[in-house]
Amino acid sequence: MSKDVVVILPGGKVDHVSVDDGSVKLSYKNDQRSFPDLPIEAWTLDGKEVLIARFSDLVTARETEAAIRQFY
């Protein structure tokens, strides 16, 4: 099985990926940068739990919710 994760990257960039169901971290790489071992977290928005991976703990709640809303 797999689970969907919203990945929040620097500069307001966002992606949506699938990872193995048992994963607690993910590694993300694009053309410009690499982000190894991003922790997967549960985030509740509008009563629904969504899985996210943020590049930094400094990503605000507002930025996180805006990123999630791009996909849900």
* Segment 15-33, tens digit of pLDDT: 999 999 999 999 999 888 8
The DSSP bridge pattern shows strands 25-29 and 14-20 to be unpaired
Give the residue from 12, 10, 25, 23 showing the smallest Cα distance to 69.
12
For residue 13, is pLDDT > 90? yes
Confidence of residue 48 (pLDDT cuts 50, 70, 90): very high
Helix H or strand E segment including 20: strand 14-20
Look at the alpha carbons of 28, 50, 41, 18 in this order and tell me if their dihedral is positive or negative.
Answer: negative
- Domain boundaries along the sequence of the chain: 2-69
Average pLDDT, rounded, for the chain: 95
For residue 66, is pLDDT > 90? yes
Confidence of residue 36 (pLDDT cuts 50, 70, 90): very high
Q: In this structure, what is the dihedral angle of CA atoms 14, 58, 10, 66, given to the nearest 10 degrees?
A: 30
